[in-house]
Chain A
Amino acid sequence: MARKGLFELVFILVMLVLMLPATMHHSAIVTYSAQAQANDLLLLTDQAIADALADGSHSGCLASSNQVASYVNNLQTAYQDIGNNCEILVNVSGTNPYTGDANVTCFKNNGDTTTYIKKRMTFNKTVTATSGGGTCRVIVIDNLSSGANQVDYNLST
């Protein structure tokens, strides 16, 4: 008779222990603002990649992707400076057209709520660099947006 209620006691204790982590932190929490940050930064990254391909190709008037890492890093720094804890990782593969992917990871902490979001975007861009008359015309075409021109300028070399 001394063990009467022992099972119930153990059962309740086990359940309470199982609930403990749920009160300490939350997983799978997605806030709108964090999602917006990641989406926004991906679009900005796409612009930075196009900008880097254009400017890198203008130097020497030859298609090049050597500026991508630097430009993306500058964008990441600017984004972090306004209070967003996000990181960008860009992989460029292939030569003209340049393909690859951009991975954005955003971390957000609002009091007890921690949000961690990772998003990936692919890109496919063609660069044409044409020299003539002391200038170099650079066009960067986004092949994923029905061949839209992201950059089109003609500047002196």
Chain B
Amino acid sequence: MKSKAFIFSVTALYFVMLFVLFMGLITYTYHNAVYKQTTSVVDKTASDYIQGNDSTSIPTNGWCVRRIVYDANTQSSTQSPREIKTYCEDYGTQRFI
């Protein structure tokens, strides 16, 4: 017959294990990114601007990137224009930015 101390130890160990399990689950849920985006679509900004045709019409099965282009070295003593460049293409030629 097992002693009470042994049963108590196993039970305690069981709850410690449960506690660790719960804390792991909480940490995973709390800190894990739930929305990972690898492609930039319209209204998102890409890290690189792909020189495109500046098309502003969004294709039915496609995606667009929109960026501001700023060239400080324009030959003007007033602020350079903040040009908005939009480039769209079909999913058929997916690009990851």
Contacts and interface: CB of A to CB of B under 8 A. Distances in A.
B31 A27 contact: yes
Contacts of A121: none
B45 A48 contact: no
A23 B29 contact: yes
B34 A29 contact: yes
Contacts of B78: 55
Contacts of A27: 30-31
Contacts, number: 122
B35 A113 contact: yes
Interface residues of B, number: 40
A11 B71 CA distance: 61
Chain A interface main SS type: helix
A86 to B, nearest CB: 9
B44 A82 contact: no
Contacts of B23: 18
Interface in A21-77: 21-23, 26-33, 36-37, 39-40, 44, 47-48, 50-52, 54-55, 58-59, 67, 70-71, 74-75
What 4 A-B pairs have minimum CB-CB distances, sorted nearest first?
Answer: A51-B72, A78-B82, A33-B44, A36-B47
Interface of A: 11, 15, 18-19, 21-23, 26-33, 36-37, 39-40, 44, 47-48, 50-52, 54-55, 58-59, 67, 70-71, 74-75, 78-79, 82-84, 110-113, 140, 149-153, 155
18 contacts: A15-B18, A15-B19, A22-B30, A26-B33, A36-B47, A37-B44, A40-B46, A40-B67, A40-B68, A44-B68, A47-B72, A51-B72, A52-B79, A55-B76, A78-B82, A78-B84, A82-B45, A112-B34
